[in-house]
Amino acid sequence: MEKGIMNRFLRGCGNILLGIVSFLIPVIGIVRIAKRPRMGIGAKIITSIVFMIFWVYAVSLIYAMGWAFMNSLKGNLEFFEDMMSPPKRWLFSNYIKAFSLIEFDGVNFIAMFINSIWFALGSAILSTLSHAVTGYIFAKYNFFGKRVFFNFVIFTIALPVVGTLPSLYQIVNSLGLNDSPLFLITALGGFGSNFLITYAFFKSMDRTYMEAARIDGASHSSIFWRIMLPQAAPMLFSIGLLSFIGQWNNYETPLLMLSKMPTLATGLYQFSDKMIFAVGDASQTVYFAGILLASLPVVLLVIAFHEKIMENVSTGGIKG
């Protein structure tokens, strides 16, 4: 009886605290927007609305993470009895169970973690470099059929990614790239939404850099690698980081084409099936623990580099 009263008290205090924070932060943000002297009334209203939308979205994500962490410390029966109350006993042993229970065809948690690193990191690096090359070429060079090919690239961006998986699987299977690190060469597409970002960036750069380098006898490759690419490094880092996060969470591609080299996302996907059918010791709370462990590297990266992701990248001007 006393424990029930204490749980209700803690839940009430938590709800009050969340309510106060949820009210104060958007109010403070809107007040700061309203005090900006150079913004018109219309701009302030639109900015405040956008701020509120992103605030609600951020709160929903934080709430989901907190809810998952709280329930990851419960037993399975306690979780289904009350999903909203704090745990009676903090079972950090669920995180140890996640290491031993989450596996894919004999591949353990640590091996899947290593596979996730090389798959996500390799894909991000190759994809970012290929986007930089294609964006630079289309932005700074003229060649036959450029406009037609550019319009075709824009059209392909509108195609759903799921629709391209069968053709990609046939190509990978024909080339014998299944279950091989060489599969990463499929990331060298160079087109897509990131192509538009790199294209716009290099398009805005002054050609004076290229012309000065050519006068000094620099080759096209030297201009790109030694002059253009360093200036684009902050922007490319942000693109690469977002690409890494996307590939870290990608479970479909490794499931289809790297079945013998599964990633953490693939292992969690298979564990969710075991959890639904109650296979062995699979449980919902252990699943939450596994999700949080798998998301930890991504969360740390976002915390460490969130300013780098959000900052506006600009090139330096040419002084006359």
d(CA 140, CA 201): 11
Q: Which residues contact 88 (CB under 8 A, 6 or more apart)?
A: 3, 74, 78
Q: For each successive 10 residues of the chain (320 residues), what is the average pLDDT?
A: 58 65 67 72 78 82 87 87 83 88 86 93 93 91 88 79 75 87 87 87 85 85 89 88 91 88 89 67 82 89 77 42
Q: Quick one: pLDDT at residue 168?
A: 80
In the chain, where are the structural domains located?
2-91, 109-310
Q: Quick one: pLDDT at residue 283?
A: 80
DSSP at 85: S
Q: Quick one: pLDDT at residue 319?
A: 39
Q: Quick one: pLDDT at residue 314?
A: 42
Cβ(252)–Cβ(165) below 8 Å:
yes
Query: Cα-flanking dihedrals φ and ψ of residue 107, to 5°?
Result: -90, 120
Letter for the amino acid at 152?
Answer: F
- What are 92's two structure tokens? 């950090």
DSSP 4-44: HHHHHHHHHHHHHHHHHHHHHHHHHHHHHHHT-TTS-HHHH
d(CA 171, CA 165): 10
- Tell me the CB-side half-sphere exposure of residue 137, using CA atoms within 13 A: 16
Strand partners, 104: 107
d(CA 265, CA 109): 11
Measured N-to-C along each axis, helices 2-34 and 41-72 cross at an angle, to the nearest 10 degrees, of: 160
Measured N-to-C along each axis, helices 109-140 and 193-204 cross at an angle, to the nearest 10 degrees, of: 40
Which 3 state secondary structure label does DSSP give 67? helix
Q: Quick one: pLDDT at residue 32?
A: 72
Q: What is the pLDDT of residues 106-136, one digit of tens each?
A: 888 899 999 999 999 999 999 999 999 999 9
Q: Quick one: pLDDT at residue 163?
A: 65
What's 109-310's CATH class?
mainly alpha
Cβ(207)–Cβ(140) below 8 Å:
yes
Q: Which residues contact 93 (CB under 8 A, 6 or more apart)?
A: none
Q: Which residues contact 134 (CB under 8 A, 6 or more apart)?
A: 190, 191, 195, 198, 199
Which 3 state secondary structure label does DSSP give 107? strand
d(CA 130, CA 139): 14
Q: What is the CA radius of gyration of the chain?
A: 25
